[in-house]
Amino acid sequence: MKPASMPRLLRYVLAPVIGLMVTLVFFTMTSLYQQTLQEQQRAVQIERLAEIRANIEGAFNGAINLTAGLIAFVSSTGVISQDFFAQISHELIQQNSLIRNITLAPGNVIRYVYPLEGNEAALGLDLLNHPTQGEATRQMLTSGKPILAGPYELAQGGVAVIHRVPIYLDSDTADPVYWGMMSTPIDFSRILELSGLLNPALGLEIALRSREGTGAEGIVFYGDPALFEMSGVFNSYISVLNGKWEMAALPDRHQPQSGNGLVWTARGIGGMFGLLTTFMIWQLMRMNERLHASQAQYRQLAQHDTLTGLPNRIVLYDRFEQAVARAERHHDPLVLLYMDLDGFKYINDLHGHQAGDIALAELAQRFRRVVRGSDSVIRIGGDEFIILLENVTNIDAVLSVTDKILNCVADPIEFESQQFKLGISIGIACFPQDGLTLDQLMTSGDHAMYAAKAAGKNRINWASDPSHLFSKN
């Protein structure tokens, strides 16, 4: 080969190679940028989905737990007058607007319903042999446990999930005596609205399936059934009493994907301007930092109550497991205080929800100040709080904390140059005496708290005699 031909060959080979390398660098960087952007969008969408799931579960739990006192009364007495039933039902529905009505069905036939107006046709209904609700009733009887059935379209309008609870009479015999059931329709459309699922700005297409809590084996009752078969779909599960609902979500196909125009613009000019590489690296690093910051922010939002800044129910389960491990290791009791404000609804009605929010935020700070750093203050929803007390060796230590809580709540709260006062009822449950799991302790504490309210409010009530537990330490 002639020497003169070498530069020409080098020009023909080296120039396209360098140009190709620059182009490949830009295509690689823009691809990474696009991937980072998609990961960020996916992280945001997953957090939004988790928030929706937590909101739906929280709404169900709030409506379900509210009727525990009514069930306990019927179970212990076996009888209830129409007037007393109407009085209790009215108070429960006032506390939770998601409950459409409350029915009692001795022997599976509806004999009590509140409110009666608009629900007259339900009286005398045989739920066991009902053409649409009989299957759920038989499922409840077979399992002997509460179930959520539906959602169903109601004759009086709207869509509801039916919460059914079998009621067994308190008996000394080995076999429980079945009395009948309690049934409460929970407003399904309202739950979807409160959860944020119906928010047009959500940017997600969502579908739900399973009528009777059978997960992927159920049928689609909300959204497009095709979502469950699409690739790239996010799947999450909502825990209900007797199983799970599967939730499928996909970025809204009708909304343009952000970032695609920038990517193609960068690729177009990347072949001509190599300096754009520096900008793309800087942009990638910036987007990566934003991604990590967004993930940390969403983790914070997912684990803490935005109004009070207190940890929420998700954190409560984790802290309880850690506290149980320490309690068992040191052979110390673990005490759960289940607290519900007295007079909070009146403050909301009289002064508005802004006053209620200020009261909740102020009381959250007061609770933090009166407990030790090793104790956990949790807001579980509405005006209900839980405090976990560790390293308590005697009853006086518990009473010292509850006295401080009662006193700090009694102090006036200021709102727009006005002052108002609240009270608080506290149910006290001890591990392991009143329950081995968090759900068992919360149920015991909830019952004790309602007993405190029934005894006159603004006081404490133990779930069981604590002297046996503390005498061992």
Per-residue model confidence as pLDDT tens digits over 446-473: 999 999 999 999 999 999 988 877 765 5
Strand partners, 420: 413
| Total-model pTM | 0.47
- Among 187, 305, 383, 446, the active-site one is 383
254 pLDDT above the threshold of 70 = no
pLDDT in tens, 115-146: 988 888 888 889 888 887 788 888 888 888 88
Q: Would you say 217 and 242 are in contact if contact means Cβ atoms under 8 Å apart? A: no
pLDDT of residue 4: 47
pLDDT in tens, 189-234: 888 888 888 887 777 888 888 755 454 566 887 888 888 888 878 7
Domains present along the chain, CATH in parentheses = 64-191 (3.30.450.350), 313-470 (3.30.70.270)
pLDDT in tens, 7-39: 555 555 666 777 677 677 666 666 665 566 556
In the chain, the amino acid numbered 122 is A
Six token digits for residue 427: 């149910």
59 exposure class (CB count in 10 Å sphere: 0-12, 13-18, 19+) = buried
Q: Indicate if 383 belongs to the active site.
A: yes
Between residues 86 and 119, which one has the greater pLDDT? 86
Percent of the residues in the chain that have a pLDDT greater than 90, as a whole number: 24
Q: Would you say 276 and 267 are in contact if contact means Cβ atoms under 8 Å apart? A: no
Distance CA 205, CA 232 (A): 12
